[in-house]
């Protein structure tokens, strides 16, 4: 692993529906130790917050962290929902149920890390802004199979 500087113009940008991100550090750059991505959670349209879904899931073999850089976010951790704002940080140990929902009406910017790395590659493989559609079983199937992730229905 070598020392590196990643400028604001570097990294690998991608889109995931109304959300978008940029992988700043890939697992390939850290010998699989960790990855880091900037993530922007799109704003929900007015009235879309009824029946909120947090996308609850758990990564059995991966720790994840979230640093809220701008905006407000409802974050599910275990069975509790926490209101987060800029500057708040969440560490999600492996095996911990979590998810989030943007109910603020504005975009939310976060830094998200995975330890060990690997999940970041699925955001690139299954990006919605790809010219060529992804080959594979889909994000959920690959996360389940290759990264011991369990998604709630």
Half-sphere exposure of 76 (CA within 13 A, CB side): 18
Domain count, the chain: 1
Give me the residues of the chain with pLDDT under 70, please: 1-3, 45-52, 133
Tens of pLDDT, residues 58-76? 999 999 999 999 999 999 9
Range of the domain at 61: 12-45+53-151
Instruction: Examine residue 131 and state whether it is found in any structural domain, yes or no.
Output: yes
- Considering the domain boundaries, does residue 142 fall inside one? yes
Q: Could you please report the per-residue DSSP string of 13-64? A: EEEETTEEEEEEE-GGGTTTS-EEEEEEEPPPPTTTTTT-----EEETT-EE
Domain membership flag for residue 1: no
Residue 6, domain member (yes or no)? no
Query: 7 in a domain, yes or no?
Result: no
Indicate the DSSP class of residue 104: S
Provide the token pair at 121.
């590659």
Residue at 129 is within a domain: yes
Quick: pLDDT tens for 85-96: 999 999 999 999
- What's the CATH code of the domain at 38? 2.60.120.10
Q: Is residue 3 part of a domain?
A: no
Structure tokens at 90: 């969440």
What integer pLDDT is reported at residue 40 of this predicted model?
96
Burial string for 116-133 (b: 16+ CB within 10 Å, else e) reads: bbbbbbbbbebbeeeeee
């Amino acid at each position: 692993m070598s020392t590196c500087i990643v400028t604001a113009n570097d990294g690998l940008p991608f889109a995931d529906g109304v959300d978008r991100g940029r992988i700043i550090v890939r697992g390939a750059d850290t010998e699989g130790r960790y990855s880091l991505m900037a993530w922007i959670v799109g704003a929900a349209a007015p009235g879309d917050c009824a029946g909120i879904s947090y996308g609850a899931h758990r990564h059995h073999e991966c720790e994840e962290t979230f640093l809220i850089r701008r905006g407000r976010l409802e974050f599910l951790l275990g069975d509790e929902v926490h209101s987060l704002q800029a500057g708040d940080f969440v560490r999600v140990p492996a095996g911990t149920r979590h998810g989030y929902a943007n109910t603020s009406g504005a975009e939310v910017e976060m830094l998200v890390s995975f330890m060990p790395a690997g999940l970041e590659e699925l955001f690139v493989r299954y990006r919605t802004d790809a010219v060529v559609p992804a080959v594979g079983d889909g994000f959920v199937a690959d996360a389940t199979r290759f990264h011991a992730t369990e998604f709630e229905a």
